[in-house]
């Protein structure tokens, strides 16, 4: 993307965060943060420890209700043919589908079920006691519940439910295959090695068919090979599934390599926002990461050879 | 030997009833970590619903001039079962909605106290509306199969007992299928492990919890109907002792574990009947609770319970 063009996060955003503030008692974890994430982009949210990155995620995914601010999720333009088909199937003259979701107004389960935002956690939160496959099926709960008539039709063995279940299994198998977990499908999720658990968490999030996938430090604790596999997986998600990704990451090699857009936080405030090449050379960012005052940036830069 | 066999039959019957109630305790505990003290009274309520339904049906039959043969009795009992399950489920759904859900997210003891309040409310409600005396059904399904005919002691297997064990087994199988194989059951197990994460995957946690209460109540209603069939009488205070026993069964089997609840129920039923037969009937409750104490000393998480894992 050339510098003269309007960047995608401004011309075609999927998420617009405006004036987001989150206070815990007297502590301001996020302070008047505004940024946008472009549709189809990988947007990285970076910053030193305690900068408020995870709090932003918690607000976006309905974990916290923000003290102030607006977070709008804009759904993608629709697949026209599929829409026409769906309208025909429905029997009604048209179908209504909301295109904008104000995330701060949605209760947590609807952020995933309706706005289609999925997330993973820094400390992995799988359903340890359930099998790998079941973890992926829980993520498709809504579609299945609807088809099963809230389990009544499922028990009675209705065809429509059978079809939905086959669909859910196929979706699960697709992601098992993508993440290389097919062999372990029937093992309890808690028995998987660490790297595999990370991949499973991403697969589970993808099974909710999100338009925006929020990943909280997906590369944490991975060895270089696993880190590389992760990059491939994320690039695949962007290219094939067309899912936009919002990413918190400490590993700068991951950030610089795969992200299209970087937002830098420090003490809950945005200090830089732009393409990776721009952010990398922003003195504020360097100051925040090296821990020096603004006036000393020049000398600090000279020391690290910039 | 004859006495042993007879008590085994009695114990399994009683244990089935305890097991059905215990599932309600264990499921609710598993999913929201709360002991639903009103569950025993929900069970009592269901026995009343079954009783009222039964009396309505039999008087309707009498009004129509139909002689209540055993076929009619069985049909009437099935209708009682369905009525009790439906009405009790609605009750328990309402209880959860009114007394527990608004307190979720409050401090841990709040819903517990609310549950105790609900328990008192339910037993008093039934006392006021149905009267404080024992209510009895006409005797039904009184036939026996004599398994061993000995001069000293006849071993009998009554039709009632067969019906109770049969209904229990069928419903437990259906219930097991529901929890293991359907999306609802999967969502319940997911909520049990990590409610917040389940919500982030689009599972409506509040609705799942409501449905858990409904399922627990339906099973308690089966137990209530079977209790009425077995003993033939019910009173407003009958929720307490079976409720406490079933809770004990759930703890004994490992609270949170469904097979544990059934196993615990059977154990408590067996301990109680064997103690009554071989020692003294006055101390049967003491025996059941003493076993609980001993088991918990050596296996604090119960027989089939999972050890407590610290959540990060």
Q: Could you read off the pLDDT of A45-104 as tens digits, one per residue?
A: 988 888 888 999 999 988 888 999 999 999 877 678 878 887 888 788 887 777 889 988
Q: Which of B182, B189, B199 minimises the CB distance to A130?
A: B189
**Residue A204 and residue B201: Cβ atoms within 8 Å?**
yes
Is the pLDDT assigned to residue B203 strictly greater than 60?
yes
Domain of residue B240, residue span? 2-298
**Residue B182 and residue A113: Cβ atoms within 8 Å?**
no
Q: Give the per-residue pLDDT at A2.
A: 46
- Residues with Cβ within 8 Å of B99's Cβ and at least 6 positions away in sequence, in order, are B38, B111, B114, B115, B117, B118
Q: Give the per-residue pLDDT at A1.
A: 45
Count residue pairs from A and B with Cβ separation < 8 A.
91
Is the pLDDT assigned to residue B7 strictly greater than 60?
yes
In a domain, B18, yes or no: yes
Is the pLDDT assigned to residue B40 strictly greater than 80?
yes
Q: Which residue has the higher pLDDT, B20 or B308?
A: B20
Q: Give the per-residue pLDDT at B176.
A: 87
Nearest-CA distance B226 → chain A (Å): 24
In a domain, B309, yes or no: no
Nearest-CA distance A277 → chain B (Å): 34
In a domain, B25, yes or no: yes
**Residue A108 and residue B200: Cβ atoms within 8 Å?**
yes
Whether complex ipTM tops 0.90: no
Q: Give the per-residue pLDDT at A33.
A: 92
A20 at interface of B, judged by CB pairs closer than 8 A: no
In a domain, B311, yes or no: no
A138 at interface of B, judged by CB pairs closer than 8 A: yes
Nearest to B167 by CA among B28, B271, B20: B20
In a domain, B220, yes or no: yes
**Residue B187 and residue A141: Cβ atoms within 8 Å?**
yes
- Residues with Cβ within 8 Å of B126's Cβ and at least 6 positions away in sequence, in order, are B41, B44, B45, B48, B236
Q: Could you read off the pLDDT of B157-197 as tens digits, one per residue?
A: 888 899 899 988 998 888 888 888 888 889 999 998 888 89
Q: Give the per-residue pLDDT at B307.
A: 62
Report the residue of chain B nearest A134, measured CA to CA.
Answer: B186
Is the four-CA dihedral B233, B234, B238, B239 of positive or negative sign? positive
Considering only CB atoms, which chain A residues are within 8 Å of B203? Answer: 109, 138, 141-142
**Residue A119 and residue B200: Cβ atoms within 8 Å?**
yes
Is the pLDDT assigned to residue B22 strictly greater than 90?
yes
Question: What is the CATH classification number for the domain harbouring B274?
Answer: 1.10.3470
Q: Which of B174, B177, B182 minimises the CB distance to A148?
A: B182
Distances (CA, A) of B136 to A298, B125, B234: 92, 19, 7
Which of the four pLDDT bands, split at 50, 70 and 90, describes residue B56?
A: very high
Q: Give the per-residue pLDDT at A302.
A: 61
Domain boundaries, given as residue ranges, for chain A: 1-116+210-306, 125-208
Q: Could you read off the pLDDT of B59-99 as tens digits, one per residue?
A: 888 888 877 677 888 888 899 999 999 999 999 999 999 99
In a domain, B308, yes or no: no
**Residue A119 and residue B312: Cβ atoms within 8 Å?**
no
Chain B interface, mutation test: which of A61, A63, A108, A210, most B Cβ atoms within 10 Å? A108
Supply angle C-alpha B302, B117, B43, rounded to 5: 60
In a domain, B134, yes or no: yes
Q: Which of A123, A128, A151 minimises the CB distance to B182?
A: A151
CATH 1.10.3210.10 fits domain A125-208: no
CATH of domain A1-116+210-306: 3.40.50.300
What is the gyration radius of the CA atoms in chain A, in angstroms? 21
Q: Which residue has the higher pLDDT, A218 or A95?
A: A218
Considering only CB atoms, which chain B residues are within 8 Å of A139? Answer: 201-202
Identify the three-state secondary structure at position A122.
coil
Q: Give the per-residue pLDDT at A299.
A: 63
Domain count, chain B: 1
Q: Give the per-residue pLDDT at B91.
A: 95
The mean pLDDT of chain B is 88
Considering only CB atoms, which chain A residues are within 8 Å of B199? Answer: 62, 108-109, 112
Task: Average the pLDDT over B36-40 and give the result.
Answer: 93
Is the pLDDT assigned to residue B242 strictly greater than 80?
yes
Report the residue of chain B nearest A210, measured CA to CA.
Answer: B201
Q: Could you read off the pLDDT of A184-200 as tens digits, one per residue?
A: 889 999 889 888 899 99
Task: Average the pLDDT over A155-166 and give the result.
Answer: 69
Least trusted range by pLDDT, from A11-20, A81-90, A204-213, A237-246 = A81-90
Least trusted range by pLDDT, from A66-70, A78-82, B10-14, B209-213 = A78-82
Q: Give the per-residue pLDDT at A106.
A: 87
Is the pLDDT assigned to residue A297 strictly greater than 90?
no
In a domain, B310, yes or no: no
**Residue B204 and residue A155: Cβ atoms within 8 Å?**
no
Q: Give the per-residue pLDDT at A304.
A: 54
Q: What is the DSSP string of B214-278?
A: HHHHHHHHHHHHHHHHHHSEE-GGGGHHHHHHHHHHHHHH-TT-HHHHHHHHHHHHHHHHHHHHH
**Residue B201 and residue A125: Cβ atoms within 8 Å?**
no
Nearest to A102 by CA among A60, A40, A41: A60
**Residue A61 and residue B200: Cβ atoms within 8 Å?**
yes
Q: Which residue has the higher pLDDT, B150 or A159?
A: B150
Q: Which of B190, B205, B312 minimises the CB distance to A130?
A: B190
Is the pLDDT assigned to residue B312 strictly greater than 50?
no
A154 at interface of B, judged by CB pairs closer than 8 A: yes
Considering only CB atoms, which chain A residues are within 8 Å of B198? Answer: 109, 127, 138
A88 at interface of B, judged by CB pairs closer than 8 A: no
Q: Which A residues in the span 53-82 are in contact with B, Cβ-Cβ below 8 Å?
A: 61-63
**Residue B203 and residue A151: Cβ atoms within 8 Å?**
no
What gap in Å lies between CA A266 and CA A46, rounded to an integer? Answer: 9
Nearest to A233 by CA among A275, A192, A180: A180
Say what percent of chain A tops pLDDT 70. Answer: 88
Say what percent of chain B tops pLDDT 90. Answer: 43
């Amino acid at each position: 993307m050339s510098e003269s063009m309007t960047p995608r996060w401004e011309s075609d955003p999927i998420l617009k965060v405006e004036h987001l503030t989150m206070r815990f008692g007297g502590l301001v974890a996020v302070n008047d943060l505004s940024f946008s994430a472009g549709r189809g982009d990988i947007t990285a949210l970076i910053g030193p420890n305690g900068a408020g990155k995870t709090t932003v995620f918690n607000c976006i995914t309905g974990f916290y209700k923000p003290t102030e601010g607006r977070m709008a999720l804009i759904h993608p333009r629709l697949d026209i043919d599929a829409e026409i088909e769906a309208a025909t199937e429905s029997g009604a003259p048209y179908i209504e589908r909301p295109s904008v979701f104000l995330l701060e107004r949605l209760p947590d389960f609807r952020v995933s079920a309706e706005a289609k935002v999925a997330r993973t956690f820094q400390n992995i939160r799988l359903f340890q006691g359930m099998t790998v496959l079941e973890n992926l099926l829980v993520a498709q709960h809504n579609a299945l519940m609807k088809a099963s008539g809230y389990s009544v039709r499922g028990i009675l063995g209705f065809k429509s439910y059978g079809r939905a279940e086959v669909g859910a299994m196929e979706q699960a198998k697709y992601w098992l295959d993508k993440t290389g977990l097919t062999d372990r499908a029937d093992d309890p999720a808690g028995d998987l090695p660490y790297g595999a658990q990370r991949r499973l968490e991403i697969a589970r999030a993808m099974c909710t068919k999100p338009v925006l996938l929020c990943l909280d430090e997906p590369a944490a604790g991975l060895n270089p090979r696993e880190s590389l596999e992760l990059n491939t997986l994320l690039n695949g998600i962007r290219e094939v599934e067309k899912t936009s990704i919002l990413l918190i990451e400490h590993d700068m090699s991951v950030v610089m390599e795969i992200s299209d857009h970087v937002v830098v936080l420090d003490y809950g405030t945005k200090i830089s926002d732009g393409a990776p090449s721009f952010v990398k050379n922003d003195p504020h960012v360097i100051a925040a990461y090296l821990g020096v005052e603004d006036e000393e940036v020049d000398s600090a830069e000279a020391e690290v050879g910039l | 030997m004859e006495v042993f066999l007879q008590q085994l039959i009695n114990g399994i019957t009683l244990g089935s009833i305890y097991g059905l109630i215990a599932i309600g305790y264990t499921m609710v505990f598993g999913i929201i970590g709360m002991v639903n003290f009103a569950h025993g009274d929900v069970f009592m309520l269901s026995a009343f619903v079954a009783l009222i339904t039964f009396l309505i049906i039999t008087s309707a039959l009498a009004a129509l001039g139909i002689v209540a043969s055993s076929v009619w009795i069985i049909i009437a009992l099935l209708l009682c079962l369905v009525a009790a399950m439906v009405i009790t489920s609605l009750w328990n759904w309402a209880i959860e909605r009114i007394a527990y859900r608004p307190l979720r997210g409050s401090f841990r003891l709040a819903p517990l106290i609310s549950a105790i309040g609900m328990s008192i409310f339910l037993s008093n409600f039934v006392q006021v509306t149905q009267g404080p005396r024992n209510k009895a059904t006409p005797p039904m399904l009184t036939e026996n199969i004599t398994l061993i005919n000995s001069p000293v002691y006849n071993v009998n297997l009554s039709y009632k007992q067969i019906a109770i064990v049969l209904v229990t087994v069928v419903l437990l199988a259906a219930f097991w299928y529901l929890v293991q194989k359907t999306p609802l059951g999967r969502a319940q197990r997911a909520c049990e492990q990590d409610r917040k994460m389940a919500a982030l995957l689009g599972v409506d946690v509040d609705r799942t919890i409501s449905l858990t209460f409904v399922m627990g109540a339906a099973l308690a209603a089966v137990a209530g109907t079977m209790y009425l069939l077995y003993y033939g009488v019910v009173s407003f205070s009958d929720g307490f002792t079976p409720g406490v026993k079933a809770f004990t069964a759930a703890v004994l089997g490992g609270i949170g574990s469904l097979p544990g609840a059934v196993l615990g129920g059977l154990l408590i039923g067996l301990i109680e009947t064997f103690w009554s037969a071989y020692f003294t009937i006055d101390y049967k409750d003491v025996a059941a609770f003493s076993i609980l104490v001993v088991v918990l000393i050596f296996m604090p998480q119960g027989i089939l319970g999972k050890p407590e894992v610290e959540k990060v």
